[in-house]
Amino acid sequence: MLDLILNFVSCSRASGLRISSSEVLDCVNQLELIDVLEEPLFQSVLRSNFAKSRREQAHFDHLYHLFFHEMRSELSIPHSNELSELMEKALDSITAKLDQDPSFQAILDFLQGDPLGYLEEMRQLQSDTDGDTPSGMPNAFGPLIRRLQIMSQINGIGDGLARFMANNRQSIAWEDRKAMTIHYDERLDNARRMLREDPEPYDDGLKKVTTYEKHLNQIGDKSFFSLSKKEVEEMRDIVEQLVRKLKDTVQRRYSKHKRGVLDIKKTLRASAKYQGVPIEVVYKHKPKRKGKIVTLCDVSGSVWTAAKFMLNMLYSLQDCFLQVRSFIFVNELEEVTQTFQKHDINIAVDKSLKEAEINYQASTDYGSTFRQFKREYMDILNKKTTLIIVGDGRTNYSNPEEKILDEMREKCRRIIWLNPESLVFWNTGDSRMRTYQRYCNEVRHCQNLNQLLDFIKTLVL
């Protein structure tokens, strides 16, 4: 029993679940208290100890099913010694023929009922997809090629087994042959399916905002893309007004907050000056916590208009936040915080476009942007940071690197994704919104001023 649990734990760890030893101890202790033969109970004990958030549960369920149901299929076969010997012989015959790639060995182990190596292999496929292609060009093909290799290895093993069966027609009874074929076919199918389908987390914690209050009638409903030059000017004025209003509201809140309750500790200390008579009265004044903001803006044509207005608002409201750091990207990342802090917003917008060392001709690549962020800026995220990503999620068919987004989520307070594209176009073509939204805390459609205002309001107030 203990071995079984430990085996399951190491498999889970191999596929990326974090399980500490104290959790294993707890689990084993708890299993002693229940009737382990009743499967729902057994499963819920494992689940409540090993998968401690909703997002991990999908992964856990997948592993549980694989480990306790699919990998146990050999139990259904009449398990004579003879047959298992034959099986070993069959696998040996293939080992002898083919090369000694570690992943190849992993697949063979998987066939023999030890999924550890194969799970590790799958996890690597999902996580370090930093395209190490010979050409040095990072692209989505690196992991794809790796997958194809494994796929062909699986097929190779399948062929090898079939050949073994054919060669030994005489020496093995047909019942045994049939049992073996069924058994191996099932395992191979499992291996292929795991290769094709990545488990994805449940995303029912996701907040999806699609309806909005109407703040402004005409211009507020107009999409950012269809604004004329004159309207853009008009828009700037409106934004300025609104920002001033918003600031007032925030200020009012602060000053009201200042009154607070009597701080007795400090009043007493102050009264010491006047022989214990509380002349100076001190109130508890705890400034409301301000958040840090990190923005990642896609500046490739389609999205930039929306991003521009958002940055404009964010920087006008700078004193409402502890810190605002902004980055722009196309296929690589560039920090523009300084530019925005030093200059007036309109100049800054121009400057950041002209002076940033970004290749505007390149096609948007979210994957490489995330990789660069992870390499250079991961440390700026902490539990007080709100990460805002403005982008359409169109990856130009490159590797989306959603696992890095997942890592970023673990580090920061929340991730909000603003998508300026019309809702109907989400998830069409190369848009990977569906992939990304699973890792965000909130997804917003942000196409016009009304929607943007709504967002800024919830962010500031």
Partner 1 sequence: MTHKSITDVKYHLQKANYICSKSVATVVFLAQATQKPVLVEGPAGVGKTELAKAVAQSLNRDLIRLQCYEGLDEAKALYEWEYAKQLLYTQMMKDRIDEVISGSTDLNDAVDRIADQEDAFFSERFILPRPLLQAISSPEPVVLLIDEVDKSDPEFEAFLLEILSDFQVTIPEIGTRKAVKIPIVFLTSNNYRDMSDALKRRCIHLYIDYPDVELELQIVKLKIPGIKDRLAEQLINTIHEIRNLDLKKKPCTSETLDWAQSLIALQVNHLTPEIVTDTLNMICKYRSDADLVKDNMETITKNAGLECSI
What is the nearest approach in angstroms of partner 1 to the Cβ of residue 261?
11
Q: Answer for the pair 345, 317: CB distance below 8 angstroms, yes or no.
A: no
First to last CA, the chain: 54
What is the nearest approach in angstroms of partner 1 to the Cβ of residue 199?
16
Asked if residue 41 binds partner 1 (CB under 8 A), the reply is: yes
Q: Could you tell me which stretch among 101-109, 207-215, 248-256, 366-374 binds partner 1 (CB under 8 A)? A: 207-215
What is the nearest approach in angstroms of partner 1 to the Cβ of residue 205?
4
Residue in the structure block whose two tokens are 């401690």: 52
Asked if residue 218 binds partner 1 (CB under 8 A), the reply is: no
Asked if residue 255 binds partner 1 (CB under 8 A), the reply is: no
The gap from C-alpha 189 to its chain's centroid, in whole angstroms, comes to 28
Task: State which of residues 3, 22, 135, 255 lies at the interface with partner 1 (CB under 8 A).
Answer: 22
Distance CA 140, CA 130 (A): 9
Asked if residue 410 binds partner 1 (CB under 8 A), the reply is: yes
Cα–Cα nearest to 227, from 447, 457, 452: 447
Task: State which of residues 135, 210, 255, 275 lies at the interface with partner 1 (CB under 8 A).
Answer: 210
Order of strands, sheet of 323-329, starting from the edge strand that comes earlier in the sequence: 207-209, 442-445, 414-419, 385-390, 292-298, 323-329, 333-335
Asked if residue 275 binds partner 1 (CB under 8 A), the reply is: no
What are the structure tokens assigned to 429, written together? Answer: 């073509």
Task: State which of residues 1, 2, 33, 166 lies at the interface with partner 1 (CB under 8 A).
Answer: 33
**CB closer to partner 1, 268 vs 279:** 268
Distance CA 105, CA 112 (A): 11
The DSSP secondary-structure symbol of 154 reads H
The DSSP secondary-structure symbol of 75 reads G
Asked if residue 423 binds partner 1 (CB under 8 A), the reply is: no
Give the count of residues interacting with partner 1 (CB under 8 A): 41
Stretch 338-377: interaction string toward partner 1, x if CB under 8 A: ----------------------------------------
Question: Alpha helices of 32-173 — where are they, by DSSP H?
Answer: 39-50, 54-65, 81-97, 102-111, 116-127, 141-167
Which residues within the stretch 75-94 sit at the binding site for partner 1 (CB under 8 A)?
none
* Residue type for position 91: L
Q: Within 13 Å and on the Cβ side, how many CA atoms surround 201?
A: 22
Q: Could you tell me which stretch among 44-52, 104-112, 113-121, 296-304 binds partner 1 (CB under 8 A)? A: 44-52
Task: State which of residues 98, 232, 264, 347 lies at the interface with partner 1 (CB under 8 A).
Answer: 264
Task: State which of residues 4, 48, 171, 226 lies at the interface with partner 1 (CB under 8 A).
Answer: 48
**CB closer to partner 1, 18 vs 193:** 18
**CB closer to partner 1, 309 vs 417:** 417
Number of H helices, E strands in the chain: 19, 7
Asked if residue 290 binds partner 1 (CB under 8 A), the reply is: no
What is the nearest approach in angstroms of partner 1 to the Cβ of residue 251?
19
**CB closer to partner 1, 36 vs 148:** 36
Task: State which of residues 217, 383, 424, 429 lies at the interface with partner 1 (CB under 8 A).
Answer: 383
Task: State which of residues 1, 2, 20, 218 lies at the interface with partner 1 (CB under 8 A).
Answer: 20
Asked if residue 427 binds partner 1 (CB under 8 A), the reply is: no
| Helices 301-316 and 449-460: angle between axes, nearest 10 degrees | 40
Task: State which of residues 413, 426, 430, 457 lies at the interface with partner 1 (CB under 8 A).
Answer: 413
Question: Alpha helices of 168-228 — where are they, by DSSP H?
Answer: 174-196, 218-221
How far are the Cα atoms of 117, 168, 306, 413 from residue 11, in angstroms, in the given order?
A: 8, 35, 45, 30
What is the nearest approach in angstroms of partner 1 to the Cβ of residue 299?
29
How, if at all, do strands 207-209 and 292-298 pair? Answer: unpaired
Stretch 49-68: interaction string toward partner 1, x if CB under 8 A: x-xxxxx-x-----------
Q: Within 13 Å and on the Cβ side, how many CA atoms surround 203?
A: 17
What are the structure tokens assigned to 66, written together? Answer: 């694989």
Asked if residue 18 binds partner 1 (CB under 8 A), the reply is: yes
The DSSP secondary-structure symbol of 169 reads T
Give pairs for 227-234: CB < 8 Å, separation 24+: 227/305
Interacting residue ranges for partner 1, rule: CB under 8 A: 18, 20, 22-23, 26, 29-30, 33-34, 40-41, 43-45, 47-49, 51-55, 57, 204-205, 208, 210-211, 264-265, 268, 286, 288-289, 383-384, 409-410, 413-414, 441
